């Protein structure tokens, strides 16, 4: 039996402080060459828009938990944030979800134009690899491992496969296990990179890394389900992005209803927490606070 | 004074044989996971369409010249071919050049759809990094160097910056040095990756690597100029792609006329050849044949 997680103002302040560090690092990473001012502006618009920065927070807090190099984890986590941002730009394109609002701002193709948005997304993915290659105080062999983890998370076993499957997803006759599989690709894969990169930087044992992979699986499923629930529950202003894009899509919320989805979310969260404890994370860890904070649904929901 | 290069049928046969090896390797690399059949099909359509494979040919022949690991050079060169293909898919999109024909086939967004084409391009870039990370018989530190070279070649110092500048390029008041700079970004940067990766795999000295960088600079400029000349001279069927996209664009051909452009091409080729010899490449090298063959203009041109 694990202890109850209490998100008080002190733990919230710590998460906010870490988010500021992440935002500062992302500002440095957003800068590009003098040859491409419009590209730089589009990258800054998308990457520096207010975000929860959950992936870098996870990466840094795991490394901190195991007294590993948090600077390396910060950069590895920021690489995930860049790839996440790239995926949002692409998802929002007219030929995909055709969304107008993201992170409370006009989507990148509306603020600039379609070609600039596409090139900014490609540049963000590309720069993420450059950042991994340049992480200080990380041996070359680990950098190669992180590169491989990222390539798998993005490619035909990950994000891109998930995005293609999601675009095709208008069949309400599908079942929950298929939806879970798509969610694992679309959202879970980048958590896999993030958490396994943190495990690598933290030099976790093989057994701990297996628990880390299970933690990632559960937190990824929880995260996508939370997103689907918010899409159903929140107003556009509250979500800060175009919502109702899921109408007609087979999400777990659409398939089983809101109450069942909330129960399922709670099950994922419990399984994730169990895996975290099995990894060797302290019961009083800020990592558990950060997760509880991230997954708190708005009170009226 | 270097010897004359004679492209006879024997040297042409050798280049064709190497191209077959490259095509076979690309077929292996084009395969993706079972989760994304349409993505796999779009990658195969674009990557396996008949291409000259000049970048992998260069990479392998440089490594062979210096008795280095040609398998490593093959994979490093194929990574460049994947990124090159990704850039072609993106260039051809409706929001960019809106082209219908590429490598003698319908462009990827016409054969599939726009979202699939964009995701295939992103997947190709992403997979290129995965391939670099998995090159056999290459030390981790060199893999990290290749990753950095690729990230620079693609990003705001390379391909993407060049593509943005090219989209903005409708000002005929510009001068040749500006056009050369855009060409260096748009086309030269990926040659820099290819040739410097080959130099790294071949363990060239710092002095040789400087000559390799100069060779790359000249061959990149020559390549873009050849492309602009062909766009002006060849029919669509001969070029195998939508042409006349350059009308109204400030290319070196448009700025100085055809005869001056041909003279300029010849100057670039001479400078490239001088750099190659300075690198330590044998005068009778197949590398010089391959370059002469690649840059042969159709006889009626």
**Domain CATH for A40:** 1.10.600.10
> What pLDDT does residue A234 have?
73
Q: How far is CA A37 from CA A41, A203, B98, in A?
A: 6, 40, 24
Query: Cβ–Cβ of A148/B165 closer than 8 Å?
Result: no
Which tokens sit at A131?
């950042």
3-class SS of residue A106: strand
Q: Tell me, yes or no, whether A296 lies in a domain.
A: no
Q: Which domain holds residue B235?
A: 9-294
Q: What is the pLDDT of residues A36-71, one digit of tens each?
A: 999 999 999 999 999 999 999 999 999 999 999 999
Query: Cβ–Cβ of B113/A95 closer than 8 Å?
Result: yes
Q: How many domains does chain A have?
A: 1
Place of tokens 């069942």: A260
Residues from chain A contacting residue B147 (CB–CB below 8 Å): 129-130, 132-133, 143, 147
Mean pLDDT of A71-86: 98
Q: What is the pLDDT of residues A221-236, one digit of tens each?
A: 999 889 888 877 776 6
Q: Tell me, yes or no, whether A287 lies in a domain.
A: no
Question: The whole model's pTM is what?
Answer: 0.93
Q: Tell me, yes or no, whether B284 lies in a domain.
A: yes
Q: Tell me, yes or no, whether B101 lies in a domain.
A: yes
Q: What is the pLDDT of residues B157-200, one digit of tens each?
A: 999 999 998 887 766 567 778 888 888 898 899 999 999 999 99
Query: Cβ–Cβ of A164/B38 closer than 8 Å?
Result: yes
B234 by Cβ neighbours in 10 Å (0-12 / 13-18 / 19+) ranks as middle
Query: Cβ–Cβ of B151/A32 closer than 8 Å?
Result: no
Computed over every residue of chain A, the mean pLDDT equals: 90
Q: Tell me, yes or no, whether A291 lies in a domain.
A: no
> What pLDDT does residue B280 have?
95
Residues from chain A contacting residue B93 (CB–CB below 8 Å): 115, 118
| B189 CA to centre of own chain | 9
Higher pLDDT: A6 or A132? It is A132
Is the ipTM value over 0.85, yes or no? yes
Pairwise CA distance, residues A225 & A223, whole Å:
5
Q: Tell me, yes or no, whether B301 lies in a domain.
A: no
**What is residue B297's DSSP assignment?**
P
Specify the pairing of strand B101-102 against strand B105-106.
antiparallel
């Amino acid at each position: 039996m694990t202890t109850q997680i209490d998100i008080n103002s002190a733990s919230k302040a710590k998460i906010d402080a870490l988010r500021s560090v992440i935002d500062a690092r992302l500002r440095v990473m957003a800068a590009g060459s003098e040859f491409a001012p419009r590209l730089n502006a589009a990258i800054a618009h998308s990457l520096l828009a207010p975000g929860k920065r959950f992936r870098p927070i996870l990466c840094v807090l795991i490394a901190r938990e195991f007294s590993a190099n948090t600077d390396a984890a910060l950069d590895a986590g920021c690489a995930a944030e860049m790839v996440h941002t790239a995926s949002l730009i692409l998802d929002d394109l007219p030929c995909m979800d055709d969304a107008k609002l993201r992170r409370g701002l006009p989507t990148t193709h509306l603020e600039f134009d379609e070609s600039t948005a596409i090139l900014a997304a490609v540049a963000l993915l590309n720069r993420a690899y450059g950042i991994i290659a340049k992480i200080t105080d990380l041996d070359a062999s680990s950098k190669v491992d992180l590169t491989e983890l990222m390539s798998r998370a993005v490619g035909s076993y990950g994000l891109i496969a998930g995005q293609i499957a999601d675009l095709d997803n208008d069949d309400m006759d599908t079942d929950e296990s298929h939806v879970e599989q798509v969610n694992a690709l679309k959202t879970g894969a980048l958590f896999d990179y993030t958490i396994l990169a943190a495990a690598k930087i933290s030099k976790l044992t093989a057994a701990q890394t297996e628990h880390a992979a299970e933690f990632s699986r559960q937190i990824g499923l929880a995260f996508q389900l939370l997103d689907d629930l918010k899409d159903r529950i929140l107003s556009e202003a509250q979500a800060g992005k175009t919502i109702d894009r899921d109408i007609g899509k087979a999400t777990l919320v659409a398939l089983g209803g809101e109450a069942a989805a909330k129960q399922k979310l709670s099950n994922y969260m419990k399984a994730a927490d169990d895996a975290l404890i099995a990894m060797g994370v302290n019961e009083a860890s800020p990592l558990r606070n950060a997760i509880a904070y991230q997954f708190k649904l708005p009170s009226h929901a």
